Amino acid sequence: MIQNNPDDLPVGLHQWLISGDGCPAGEVDLLLTVCGEESFPCNDGTCVHMSQRCDLRAHCDDGSDEMECDKVFVGTDYEKTLPPPPPETEDVLNVTLSLVIHAVHDLDLLAQTVRLDVLLTSQWEDARLLYADLHSEQFRNEIQDPDRLWLPRFTVTDDTGSRVRIEERGSSLRVLRGSTPLPRENTRAVKGKLRTTVYPGRENVLFLRQELSIAFQCQFDLRWFPFDNQRCSINLRFADMESKLLRMLGTKARYLGQKKLHEYKVEFIDMTEAKLENGQRVSLCLTNLFVYYLVNSYLPSFLLVIISYSTFYFPLEGFNERIMANITAMLVLVALFQQPCSTILKTTYLKLIDVWYMICIVVDFIMVILLVMIDYIRNLGDNVTKVFPASAGVKTLFAAENMPNARKFNTIAKMMLPLLFLLLFGVYGSISAIQYSTG
């Protein structure tokens, strides 16, 4: 033994000088240990339990139990461009997906785009590999340099079939221990160095964790806006070459982010099998937070209709005041109608909020026509000449006998218009409630 210190004992890892036996190497590293089968020999000659080997915490005084902790042994005949072989009882290899959405960003109605922060996990077995010193806690079994292994490649498309933009923010590859170690003759001096506990590739699952930012197009159907429900979907499938050799299995998708967004609420998320493409379809279901539009659009327009209706309680002689109040209300309704058009996607079809404004404008127009008819009846003459003495002062020269008819017509309008309001608004409200609840 080559001694650097006179007090060194031959136990542990030291350099030895070999001579006289025909060996080509004069100086070699040899490990002399008294550790048992279930112990790991430290370089200084002490022993720790094999379960403490490569557990991300140094138990040897010299830290040698955390050296050379590569979790995977890749053979020289390993080809990372080929997927792993399937089990003997299967024709294809199963790859299990799990998806968690952490946040929904940039839900843009005008651009019809959605951006998601997604955690995508994939699990599969690779029988071509051997693993070293696996632990029950998966965070201790992380594989360094995963690019040397075969990894599943996914193609992600939106509802239009176009590929989406994906930004990978981080990834890790770990091994989930699921089997017992191989026999002892396969666990000694792996790679000719330290004693290692070896596990087979079969029954020990590779666990790929990817943090992704996915931006895609969502075809919003705004016919029932703002009482609408939207479904935005993405499709995951394997690359063309691997789609025939692999089977994608999906588990339940989850949403862990903020439920209430700027305009919509995340109702639920689901993952279903896309049988024609051997993939999975992930759908995000959204419901509109319509309270803002109730306060900002529906309530002001409804109050304007009430203001227009109140003119039927003005004196019949004040036609100018009555008609100007209605026309002003109609102009304000038209201005309010233009307001959501600047913030909502323009469509070739009428949205439900457009129908509401059309109802309000038509009702206001009907009231304007009724006011004109009432004033016409009030001023309708009977071709009778009235003579008044000069001492009686100035008299209003209109057909006084037509005033009761005008008042009667005005009273009928005051009674019938609320019924018309209730009918139109009731039908509108019922349709909106049914659509919102059923989706």
**pLDDT, tens digit (0-9, with 9 covering 90-100), for 127-180:** 999 998 888 888 888 898 899 999 999 999 998 888 999 999 999 999 999 988
For residue 115, the SS3 value is strand
Quick: pLDDT tens for 69-111.
Answer: 878 888 888 999 899 999 888 889 999 999 999 999 888 888 8
Distance (Å, rounded) from C-alpha 201 to C-alpha 93? Answer: 14
Of the pLDDT bands very low, low, confident and very high (cuts 50, 70, 90), residue 276 is: low
Of the pLDDT bands very low, low, confident and very high (cuts 50, 70, 90), residue 193 is: very low
Residue 27 is assigned to a structural domain of this protein: yes
Q: What is the dihedral of CA 245, 246, 247, 253, to 10 degrees?
A: -160
Find where tokens 């020999």 sit. 41
238 and 322, same domain (yes or no): no
Quick: pLDDT tens for 207-216.
Answer: 999 999 999 9
Q: What average pLDDT does this structure show over 251-265? A: 91
- Predicted confidence at residue 105, as pLDDT, reads 85
Is the predicted pLDDT of residue 383 greater than 70, yes or no?
Answer: no
Q: Which carries the bigger pLDDT value, residue 7 or residue 160?
A: 160
252 and 326, same domain (yes or no): no
Of the pLDDT bands very low, low, confident and very high (cuts 50, 70, 90), residue 189 is: very low
Task: Report H helices in 91-169.
Answer: none
Is the predicted pLDDT of residue 397 greater than 80, yes or no?
Answer: no
Query: How many structural domains is the chain composed of?
Result: 3
- Predicted confidence at residue 76, as pLDDT, reads 86
Question: What are the C-alpha distances in Å from 434 to residues 68, 292, 359?
Answer: 65, 19, 19
Question: What are the C-alpha distances in Å from 413 to residues 213, 371, 374, 377?
Answer: 60, 9, 9, 14
* Residues 6+ away with beta carbon under 8 Å from 104: 114, 115, 116, 117, 257, 258, 261, 266, 284
Q: Which carries the bigger pLDDT value, residue 209 or residue 2?
A: 209
- Predicted confidence at residue 99, as pLDDT, reads 95
- Predicted confidence at residue 192, as pLDDT, reads 47
Residue 75 is assigned to a structural domain of this protein: no
Which domain-ending residue is among 233, 266, 288?
288
255 and 349, same domain (yes or no): no
323 and 252, same domain (yes or no): no
| Dihedral sign computed on CA atoms, order 200, 202, 203, 208 | positive
Residue 250 is assigned to a structural domain of this protein: yes
Which domain-ending residue is among 288, 303, 323?
288
Residue 88 is assigned to a structural domain of this protein: no
- Predicted confidence at residue 125, as pLDDT, reads 94
Q: What average pLDDT does this structure show over 396-422? A: 81
Q: What average pLDDT does this structure show over 188-203? A: 69
State the DSSP H helix or E strand holding residue 320, giving kind and residue range, or none if neither. helix 319-341
Instruction: Give the pTM.
Output: 0.76
Of the pLDDT bands very low, low, confident and very high (cuts 50, 70, 90), residue 44 is: confident
Widest CA span in the chain? 157
Distance (Å, rounded) from C-alpha 314 to C-alpha 323? Answer: 10
Distance (Å, rounded) from C-alpha 60 to C-alpha 384? Answer: 123
32 and 170, same domain (yes or no): no
53 and 157, same domain (yes or no): no
Query: With contact defined as beta carbons under 8 Å apart, do 428 and 409 qualify?
Result: no
- Predicted confidence at residue 6, as pLDDT, reads 59
CATH number for the domain harbouring residue 224: 2.70.170.10
211 and 296, same domain (yes or no): no
- Predicted confidence at residue 244, as pLDDT, reads 83
CATH number for the domain harbouring residue 301: 1.20.58.390
Nearest to 68 by CA among 29, 96, 107, 38: 29
257 and 354, same domain (yes or no): no
φ, ψ of residue 250 in degrees (nearest 5): -110, 145
281 and 295, same domain (yes or no): no
Of the pLDDT bands very low, low, confident and very high (cuts 50, 70, 90), residue 186 is: low
275 and 183, same domain (yes or no): yes
234 and 282, same domain (yes or no): yes
315 and 326, same domain (yes or no): yes
Its domain, for residue 354, covers: 291-382+398-437
Q: Which carries the bigger pLDDT value, residue 315 or residue 385?
A: 315
- Predicted confidence at residue 148, as pLDDT, reads 92
* Average per-residue pLDDT for the chain: 84
* Residues 6+ away with beta carbon under 8 Å from 18: 25, 26, 27, 28
Q: Which carries the bigger pLDDT value, residue 51 or residue 118?
A: 118
